[in-house]
Amino acid sequence: MSLKIVVIGTGFGRHTVAPAFESLGCDVDLVSPRDARAVREAVAAPCDLVSIHSPPFLHCEHVRLAVGHGRSVLCDKPFGCNATEAREMLELASASGVMHFLNFEFRCDPLRAKMKELLDAGAIGKPRHLSSSMFMSRGRKAPHGWLFEKDKGGGWIGAFASHQVDLLHWLFGEIETVSCLPRIDVVARPGRGDAGGQLHDATAEDALTAWFRLKNGVTASIDTACSAAVNLPAQIVLFGSEGALQLSHNAELVLMRPEQDPERFPVARDENPLGAAQERWLAKVCEAVKTRRQIAPDFTTGLACAGILDAMRTGGSITSPR
């Protein structure tokens, strides 16, 4: 059975999500999130799923519309601008009985999946600490837009750290406390097509350092920036009582244990890891829609993440909301 999918989004939605759905044999209707009439008409027409990849400040509006028509809905992260909006979207979906999914597609990355498999199998003993770092320079020359505006849900916390927070939830469970130092490395940027060198002040962070303690006692740290001077390879290292797992971006997963040679796992990598992970996740979503079986990550997952992101944006230390 071919599914009819409405994809709202002309950035990530157009270039990654829509092609992934099409490769799965779906009939895709792609609409711009800024064209309110087109969005209304597309969602009102018969469809099996509304896949929302609009900017965060439009998530609530588009989820309300999809749920109002009784559509199953997939929403991208960071799932609205804050936990208040995330809670509203979860309550709307739950009250209407529609199926709902959250786009944490990196759970379907083969290296991360293998890391979780080895962790769950006890390969490194009891987990102790996870360290994650990723620095990229692409954001240094990016034009000003919603991504750099705090009141529109922009910022590197939502754009990137949301995936790392979900990784912690997925691997270890509930985050108990968080502390964060967000910062703005590029404080002003020209807008798209601006003449005369006009600059716009950035109000949302493009870098951060954060620390976490999980309910099971595991600690974690994230150090990342999107406007760094140079690119540095992303890395995740998970330390346990009996060894460590090192995941290098687009490369390999290595298991290291005392007095043993490193064990390298031949996880096949894709030419486009992001697109491949997205396609794997959407395949699961499509199957869930066909069989009417709710799967995670879903809006409940999104709300749990949104509460942590709110704490990170304020730079404070709080206990995770229930």
Same domain, 195 and 122: yes
Work out how many domains the chain is built from and give that number.
2
Q: What is the pLDDT along the chain (322 residues), one digit of tens a residue?
A: 799 999 999 999 999 999 999 999 999 999 999 999 999 999 999 999 999 999 999 999 999 999 999 999 999 999 999 999 999 999 999 999 999 999 999 999 989 999 999 999 999 999 999 999 999 999 999 999 999 999 999 999 999 999 999 999 999 999 999 999 999 999 999 988 766 678 999 999 999 999 999 999 999 999 999 999 999 989 999 999 999 999 987 678 999 999 999 999 876 666 666 678 999 999 999 999 999 999 999 999 999 999 999 999 997 655 544 4
CATH of the domain at 71: 3.40.50.720
Other C-beta atoms lying within 10 Å of the C-beta of residue 124 = 21
Same domain, 268 and 126: yes
Alpha helix (H) residue ranges in the chain: 12, 18-23, 36-44, 59-68, 83-96, 110-120, 156, 162-172, 273-291, 299-314
Same domain, 261 and 129: yes
Same domain, 175 and 235: yes
pTM to 2 decimals? 0.95
CATH of the domain at 254: 3.30.360.10
Same domain, 95 and 112: no
Beta strands in 121-231 (DSSP E): 127-135, 175-183, 188-190, 199-201, 207-214, 219-225
Same domain, 149 and 206: yes
Supply the pLDDT for residue 322: 43
Residue 204, classified by CB atoms within 10 Å of its CB into exposed (0-12), middle (13-18) or buried (19+), is buried
Q: By residue range, what is the domain housing residue 231?
A: 107-272+303-319
Same domain, 268 and 145: yes
Same domain, 193 and 291: no
